[in-house]
Amino acid sequence: MRSTNKVYIQGIDHLRGLAALLVVLFHCIHRSGEITQAYVPANPLLSFFEEGHTGVALFITITGFIFTTIIGDNQIVYSRFLRNRFLRIFPLLFIISFFTDLEASGVAGGDPLAMLKFFNLFGGGIYRGTWTLVVEFQFYLFFPIFYVYFRDNCKGTLKKYLPFAGMILVGLMFRLMFFMEKGNAQDVGYWTIFGRIDQFMLGAMASLFVQDIKAARIFQNKFAGLAALILGLVLATAMFHYFNIRQLYLRDPSSPDPLWLIESTAEGVMYAWLLVAWIWVLGSAEGRLVNIAAYIGSISYSTYLIHFFVLDMVVKIMSTYGITFSSDLFTNACAMAFLLVYPLTLVFSTVTFELIEKPFFKYRVSYLKANPAPVV
């Protein structure tokens, strides 16, 4: 999706599409409850599907990357920045939240104060995965001020990375305090800004790294980039399969595993690596398939919010008519995802993107202004 503030990297939209697909797969696999969170596929590659909740981490790392890239050396008009974020998120969110409230309570029921409370979003986002948007908006509130201040006051090849590393340590500190008090770090590490801050910061650091090396000769070598991408994918597969074997992601109750103190950090490191490698290899790629993949990424926000409803509909139809693709529960869930849920979600998402999201884009404004020239 092209920003009104000039920077557009098509490869980012490819990865947004991947992130949405992972989340769709995760919910398809675990929707019925027949496949528990403790399930571990024999093939390590399939842990990406079973652990598809990690698509949220990829979305968040991308957010840190793209806003650091967009702001760059410019100053920012804070009110305009927040206006753009509101126009990007709220129209579809309003429709989805309103419909979900009706779906849950009936057309004549519902909470009469829901509109005033923005459907409880200020309380953490209770509707259909909207907790992630609450975390994202918390990041939007502080990041422009944080980034511009430390960019201007921490100059130097290595020094400029220190504030971001410092924020990662701050997140770790809060997770440790939560762990010592509550006995688990998953609740704070997965669901809140105190865990996700690592991924925002690592995405930002990846952006700075790309800016540092993009003029280097090695960055022009696509074979070196491909090697980095393959290595990153191998390491990511091994990491997520290990997390899966260790049963790191659990629900009701949450995991007491202390590895959750650094789980979000590990995900952020891996996705920052893959972001750099993907842009290294495909940042300037062209062609019809590349453009199609980019469009799928541009509608990923709709995909994320719409797929819950499509999944419910497909499960109801398959249950009513006794439709199955395989006697193996995991294979059946993946087939349902790829053959029905994801394609239908893309159709619905195209409609909501073009008719609900896109009309508001024209009201976005530039929030950047160039730094004044130094006085000589």
pLDDT recorded at residue 114: 53
Amino acid identity, position 370: A
CA 29 – CA 332 distance, rounded (Å): 9
Mean pLDDT on 219-224: 87
CA 93 – CA 72 distance, rounded (Å): 29
pLDDT recorded at residue 53: 92
Indicate the pTM of the whole model.
0.91
pLDDT at 123 over 50: no
Q: What is the pLDDT of residues 251-285, one digit of tens each?
A: 777 889 999 999 999 999 999 999 999 998 887 67
Distance of alpha carbon 45 from the chain centroid: 20
Q: What mean pLDDT value characterizes the chain? A: 87
Mean pLDDT on 125-148: 85
Q: If you ran DSSP here, which 8-state letter would residue 106 be given? A: -
Whole-Å CA distances, 157 to 151, 154, 209, 211: 11, 9, 10, 11
Q: What is the pLDDT of residues 161-173, one digit of tens each?
A: 999 999 999 999 9
pLDDT at 98 over 80: no
Q: What is the pLDDT of residues 294-340, one digit of tens each?
A: 999 999 999 999 999 999 999 999 999 999 999 999 999 999 999 99
> Cβ(147)–Cβ(71) under 8 Å?
yes
pLDDT at 16 over 50: yes
